[in-house]
Amino acid sequence: MTLKTAPKTRPRPQATSKTMPATRQRRQPPSLEMQLDRVTAVLKEALERQDLAPFYAALRRTDLPFFTARHLDDSRGIARTCFDILQRLAGLSPAVGLAIKNHLYVTAALATFPKAVPGLTERSRSLLSRVAAKRLLVVNTSSKVHADRLGTLGTRAVPDGKGYRVHGTASFMSLATQGDLLFFLTLVEDAGLAVFVIPLKGRQDVEIGPLLFPRAMVDSDTRKVVFHDVFLPADCLLAIGAGNLMSALMTFQMSWHQTLLAALSLGAAAGAIEEARRFLRTVSGPGGQPLAELDGMMTDVGRLVIRYRAACSFVHRAGEQLEAMAGRALDPVALEQAFDFACAAKYTATECAEEVVTRARRIVGSRTFVGSQPLERLSQEVMFGPLAGEVHALIERRHGRRALGEQEFPPRRW
């Protein structure tokens, strides 16, 4: 008796991305870098046409404004991603970078708040998830107004049944006409500082006023906002309190604000260096040699690059310190150090950006102001950097006072 072997069969090929039906293929979303490439291309065209609507539509379709929702359990990389986004956008327009910075610094702060106020972490996570799911842009105001005293708040809130009523004025709100949620600070009668988050679109009781900077910084969309006896349900309250606790949270938020101001300023510096590079490579001297090959030009640009890279290192360090505080118990010493770093980084970066843009403009010469030369926009808008956030005179005074105190310099914690 002989055994019959089974007939040979060919093995079935494994399904691959080429053979798998289209309905079963899983598309990998484009990387943040690829999305940023697309958005910056749209922004460049939008600036030329003086119509930013296509840019904001393209931005909302990406993950760029909403990436912090992915970092709720691990804050590493938040600062670096914010820097990358702002560097690219501000390299074309610091004003647009300022508008987006205001969304990014709020979402970055929400994702990295230290554990201080009970329930704040849960409320922040819920808010960030909602922002990402519904593709919402967040605007914010500290309720500061132009007055004869720095830091004056122009709004007040009073308890009213199961909520609060807010009235008053705030001078600064960037990204104003694009925002979906308003994140704002105010003073609640007999309770202290409070942070509220409210829907903004379609409201009649929140008046968005005319442009505050109608020329050089027009694309920051910074406007005055007026609260006309606005009723806010209690669930709009994110945090409230008097004394050191709320002050610490505001200091932490301000540290993100300062750090990302520094990042967008360095974006302007990088954009200026790129414009100088293009000019020097495409224009030749009398002898036919490209200007980029002249030793003097190499050293001039080299000095700018060194200044830029040194400032970048400082800003990255400030961001890392803020990331490290995420989800931990509030440490006043660490917070003070982070705030000092953020202020010094903003001071250094904005001064660097002004210098780099000015020197790049001198390299390019009068062509800077011909047609739609990008350096013309950078020259107008980069000057705003030192004027935003913490006043430079206050930063200098704080660091000088500490250096001249009882503690030996340099302090070991630096």
Average pLDDT over residues 312-339: 92
Average pLDDT over residues 303-312: 96
Q: Find all residues with CB under 8 Å of 116, minimum gap 6, and list them.
A: 245, 248, 249, 330
pLDDT exceeds cutoff 90 at 153: no
Average pLDDT over residues 118-141: 92
Of 26-35, 89-98, 101-110, 155-164, give the lowest mean pLDDT range. 26-35
Angle, to 10 degrees, between the axis of helix 53-60 and the axis of helix 32-49?
170
Average pLDDT over residues 309-334: 93
Tokens of 61: 């379709």
pLDDT value of residue 4: 39
As to burial, measured by CB atoms within 10 angstroms (0-12 exposed, 13-18 middle, 19+ buried), residue 360 is buried
Q: Which CATH superfamily is domain 244-403 in?
A: Butyryl-CoA Dehydrogenase, subunit A, domain 3 (1.20.140.10)
Average pLDDT over residues 326-347: 92
pLDDT exceeds cutoff 80 at 146: no
CA distance 238 to 244: 17
Q: CB count, 10 Å around CB of 376?
A: 17
Question: Greater confidence, 41 or 215?
Answer: 41
pLDDT value of residue 6: 41
pLDDT value of residue 1: 35
The three-point CA angle 110-113-115 to 5° equals 135
Average pLDDT over residues 94-101: 96
pLDDT exceeds cutoff 80 at 81: yes
Tokens of 283: 């224009």
DSSP 197-251: EEE-TT-SSEEEEEESS-STTGGG--EEEEEEEEEEEGGGEEEEE-SHHHHHHHH
141-241 folds as Butyryl-CoA Dehydrogenase, subunit A; domain 2 (2.40.110)
CA distance 39 to 37: 6
For 14-67, the pLDDT digits (tens) are: 555 444 454 455 566 689 999 999 999 999 999 999 999 999 999 999 999 999
CA distance 44 to 215: 19
Q: Given its phi and psi angles, is residue 327 left (phi above 0), alpha (psi -120 to 50 degrees) or beta?
A: left
Beta carbons of 182 and 137 less than 8 angstroms apart: no
The CA R_g of the chain, rounded to the nearest whole Å, is: 25
For 337-358, the pLDDT digits (tens) are: 999 999 999 999 999 999 999 9
Question: Greater confidence, 39 or 409?
Answer: 39
pLDDT value of residue 13: 52
**C-alpha closest to that of 386 among 302, 261, 272, 279:** 261
CA distance 142 to 8: 77
Q: Is the pTM of this model over 0.85?
A: yes
pLDDT band at 3 (very low <50, low <70, confident <90, very high): very low
For 383-407, the pLDDT digits (tens) are: 988 888 888 999 999 999 988 988 8
**C-alpha closest to that of 96 among 177, 217, 14:** 217
Of 3-7, 93-97, 270-274, 302-306, give the lowest mean pLDDT range. 3-7
Average pLDDT over residues 289-306: 94
Average pLDDT over residues 291-320: 95
pLDDT value of residue 364: 93
pLDDT exceeds cutoff 90 at 309: yes
CA distance 283 to 364: 10
pLDDT value of residue 356: 97
pLDDT value of residue 410: 77
pLDDT value of residue 26: 59
pLDDT exceeds cutoff 50 at 154: yes
CA distance 313 to 127: 31
**C-alpha closest to that of 314 among 79, 62, 17, 9:** 79
Beta carbons of 389 and 261 less than 8 angstroms apart: yes
Residue 278 DSSP class: H
- The whole-chain average pLDDT of the chain stands at 88
